[in-house]
Amino acid sequence: MFYTLKSLLLTPITINGVTFKRTNVSGDYGGMEGGAIATEHCTMRKNELFSLTTQLWYLKYKGEVFDTDKESEIFNQVLSTFKFIN
């Protein structure tokens, strides 16, 4: 099995009985003038990968103009509703 440093740094989290691996993927998003705070949650089910990504985009020259704590609370509320139907 192939491991990357990034895969070894994943943090496990359980949402409605489903265990996800959570990691910061902020460096994978953004461009010359934009940036993002991004978190990815991944899990496997029946040999299929499921990935949920939350992102907060901002313009680099303006900086982060949002309340990170409040946005995290909203993302956590949304993620808490996740469940597999079948």
C-alpha torsion sign, points 78, 79, 80, 81: positive
Query: How many independent structural domains does the chain possess?
Result: 1
pLDDT of residue 3: 43
Helix (H, G, I), strand (E, B) or coil at 50: strand
Domain presence at residue 84 = no
Domain presence at residue 48 = yes
pLDDT of residue 9: 60
Domain presence at residue 35 = yes
Domain presence at residue 26 = yes
pLDDT of residue 1: 39
pLDDT of residue 63: 67
pTM of the model: 0.68
Which residues span the domain enclosing 52?
A: 5-79
pLDDT along the chain (86 residues), means of 10: 51 86 78 79 90 82 75 84 83
Domain presence at residue 86 = no
Domain presence at residue 85 = no
pLDDT of residue 6: 54
pLDDT of residue 2: 43
pLDDT of residue 74: 85
Residue 44 CA: distances (Å) to CA of 6, 13, 51, 60: 17, 13, 9, 35
